[in-house]
Amino acid sequence: KQEVTQIPAALSVPEGENLVLNCSFTDSAIYNLQWFRQDPGKGLTSLLLIQSSQREQTSGRLNASLDKSSGRSTLYIAASQPGDSATYLCAVRGGSARQLTFGSGTQLTVLP
Amino acid sequence: DAGVIQSPRHEVTEMGQEVTLRCKPISGHDYLFWYRQTMMRGLELLIYFNNNVPIDDSGMPEDRFSAKMPNASFSTLKIQPSEPRDSAVYFCASSFGRSEQAFFGQGTRLTVV
């Protein structure tokens, strides 16, 4: 059974810092990995999708990498802003199961 | 496209009552997922459909929960009878194929008192 772990559970940084969020998964036979953002009381917004054949994806200040063989992904946020404050969720899809399996998330606070 | 649409956004009901949550996936998507989110357990898959057929319902907590997808544009999740421990946010998501990104609805916040 696929298990997804996110470290750290919470992170607080001053505005302008670059930061890295970590995600690890136990079954490397995945189709893809997706990073989401969730604001309090809101739904999930997809940030980046990395296919199993890809090593990284970039969108604006966000860069996600994937090392399938080691079961790891990182989300790099450059020049963080208070508006980046949210919970970031990592989810993997694939193997014998075609659903998304989620980590427990990293709660990010960017201080002005 | 308006995205995945869920209704109602909020539902407060008394223990023992029947609750029906609704979802309209993005047009053309062939996968539909129902998730439940709680503080204690995070996001858990309840059931998912492929081409309107239930594929994996192993996450459905018990017989009180049932889900249907009568056509490609509509799905329901029903809880009968509801219990306070069912209180959570229920999300519906859809995707096209198994390799494309999944899109989530805004969720239904269910409170059972």
pLDDT single digits (tens) A41-51:
899 999 999 99
pLDDT over 80 (residue A35): yes
pLDDT over 70 (residue A97): no
Helix %, strand %, coil % of chain B (to 5): 5, 55, 40
Output the pLDDT for position B62: 83
Chain B contact for A71 (CB, 8 A cutoff): no
For residue A94, the chain B residue with the least C-alpha distance is: B98
Residue closest to B107 by CA, chosen among B1, B12, B15, B4: B4
Average pLDDT of span A68-94 = 96
Output the pLDDT for position B2: 80
- Interface A-B: count of C-beta contacts within 8 A: 53
Max CA pair span of chain A: 44
Output the pLDDT for position A98: 76
| Cis, peptide link before residue B70, omega less than 30° from 0 | no
* Cβ–Cβ < 8 Å for A97, A73: no
- Three-class secondary structure of residue B90 per DSSP: strand
- Three-class secondary structure of residue B54 per DSSP: strand
Output the pLDDT for position A95: 63
Distance of CA B79 to the CA centre of its chain: 11
Per-residue pLDDT of chain B (113 residues; tens, 9 = 90+): 689 999 999 999 999 999 999 999 999 999 999 999 999 999 999 999 999 999 999 899 889 999 999 999 999 999 999 999 999 999 999 999 877 889 999 999 999 99
Chain A contact for B105 (CB, 8 A cutoff): yes
Residues of B in contact with A46 (CB under 8 A): 101-104
* B42 Cβ neighbours under 8 A, 6+ residues apart: A102, A103, A104, A105
C-alpha–C-alpha distance, residues A62 and A19, integer Å: 10
Residue closest to A48 by CA, chosen among A73, A78, A30, A72: A73
Least CB–CB distance from A93: residue in B50, B98, B106: B98
Task: Place A1 in a pLDDT band, splitting at 50, 70 and 90.
Answer: confident
